[in-house]
Copies of this chain bind each other. A is one copy, B any other.
Amino acid sequence: MNKPITIKEIARDLGVSFSTVSKSLNDSSEISEKTKKKVKEYAALRGYTPNQIALSLKNSATFTIGVIIPDIQNAFFASVLKNIEIHAKSYGYRIVTFFTNEKLKEEEESLKILSKGLVDGLIICPSEETFKKRKFAHFDAVKNMNTPVLVFDRVDENLDFDSVSVDDFGSIISGLDYLYEKGARSILFASTIPALSVGKKRKEAFEKFLKDNPEVKGTILEDQENGVLQNMLLEVLKTEKIDAVFGMDIDSTMLASGAISMIGKEFKEEISLLGYVNKQYNRLVYPKISYINQFPEKIGQMAVDIIVDKIKIGNSKILKKEVIETFIAIKDTSK
């Protein structure tokens, strides 16, 4: 029931003015060593800690970064968030987190709440629905504030903020090259994210590849309902000759993995599987899947670096658009 002790109370208890207390605690040279010691000891005794809210008001700096992500159950976002937290911490920042569950409305709500002076900067990955409906008006409010904003992964020309993303086009091509080299001439493209800008970009890359390599037969399976996609996969895998499956996201890749198991084909021997899983999942799954590493660690780190930089320097008009060029297909290490 003890309310946290304040400077005022310390001052009262010690019979000094509260400015003396404040100065003592901040090691001001104006105060005698004796008084300082007395104040500090009593403060320690009573477990005094400065009230951060009062400090935030005084300094108009909250040392808090707002993070808005679609879904924490998605391993990619979990990894990014983890690394955002780690790096924010290292800069002395905290994070307040909102999950939109891929819903526009929840994104609007979150943005509204966070634009009330609660945070010094904002890191966002917009929801699927935002892209489907192409509604970006709710970003306007935050745009003409001096709070820096950074968008990661799902970038879009309508969102003129700082951004960190991966080179989707390039990594798809590189993945396809990898499959091609392994002999694949009939490739199945599986996606549960056709609505997202990244999903579209990846599909474009696939189509480009097919155009450049007419000897390759491509099949595209897209669906937002995971349950349906697996049946579609099973159907195609049973009826057509498929050399390789390329999953465009964690879900489609894992579903493809399951489908291949179900029809009893051998991984690597009969069908190659490449996809966007991550270490975390792959570590626990058998057989291991070759995958495109999106470097969520790097994304989280860069996002924080940029935001903290802008917070300290002041939000400039010059936008940083970082694209993580690096991508690799790590080969199957199992067996």
- Taking A85-B97, A255-B284 as contacts, is the C-beta distance between A50 and B116 under 8 angstroms? yes
Q: Is A219 at the interface (CB under 8 A from chain B)?
A: no
Identical chains bound together, number: 2
* A113-B94 contact given A72-B82, A254-B284, CB 8 Å threshold: yes
> Which A residues between 106 and 139 are near B, CB-CB below 8 angstroms?
109, 112-113, 115-118
Residue A333 at the chain B interface, CB threshold 8 Å: no
- Residues of chain A from 5 to 51 with CB closer than 8 A to chain B in the complex: 47, 49-51
**Nearest residue in B to A61 (C-beta to C-beta)?**
B53
Does A294 make an interface contact (CB < 8 A)?
Answer: no
Cβ contacts under 8 Å, A78 to chain B = 72-73, 78
A262 at interface (Cβ–Cβ under 8 A)? yes
Q: Is the CB of B47 within 8 A of A53?
A: no
A52 at the interface (CB under 8 A from B): yes
- Is B261 touching A287 in the complex (CB atoms < 8 A)? yes
Cross-chain contact A53 with B57 (CB below 8 angstroms): yes
A257 (CB) vs chain B CBs: closest residue: B286
A226 near B283 with CB under 8 A, answer yes
Complex formed: what's the CA distance from A161 to B71 in Å? 30
Chain B residue contacts of A86, Cβ below 8 A? 99
Residues of A237-278 contacting chain B, CB below 8 A: 250-251, 254-255, 257-259, 261-262
| Across the A-B interface, the 8 shortest Cβ-Cβ residue pairs | A258-B286, A254-B284, A51-B117, A52-B116, A261-B286, A96-B96, A53-B56, A49-B116
A54 interface residue per 8 A CB criterion: yes
Task: Using CB atoms, name the residue of chain B closest to A334.
Answer: B262
Q: Which residues of B contact A144 (CB under 8 A)?
A: 2
Query: A335 — which chain B residues lie within 8 A by C-beta?
Result: 262
A146 contacts chain B at the CB level, 8 A cutoff: yes
- A86, B49: Cα distance in complex, Å: 31
Q: Which among B1, B53, B64, B261 is the interface contact of A117 at CB below 8 angstroms? A: B53
**A290-305 at interface with B (beta carbon < 8 Å):** none
Q: Decide if B146 touches A2 in the complex (CB within 8 Å).
A: yes
**Cβ contacts under 8 Å, A118 to chain B:** 52-53, 94
The answer to whether B51 touches A116 (Cβ under 8 A) is yes
A110 to chain B, nearest CB (A): 9
Please indicate the chain B residues that have their CB under 8 angstroms from the CB of A174 in the complex: none
- In the assembly, what is the distance between CA of A15 and CA of B283, in Å? 66
B4:A285 contact, CB within 8 angstroms: no
Evaluate whether A146 and B1 lie within 8 angstroms (CB atoms) in the complex, with A117-B51, A280-B73, A286-B262 already known.
yes
Find residues 55-69 in chain A having any chain B CB closer than 8 Å to their own CB: 56-57, 62, 64
Chain A 79-90 interface 0/1 with B at a Cβ cutoff of 8 Å (1 = within): 101100110010
A312 interface contact, C-beta 8 A:
no
> Smallest Cβ distance from A99 to chain B, in angstroms?
5
A315 at the interface (CB under 8 A from B): yes
Interface: A313 (CB within 8 A): no
What string of 1s and 0s marks CB contacts (under 8 Å) between A161-185 and chain B?
0000000000000000000000000
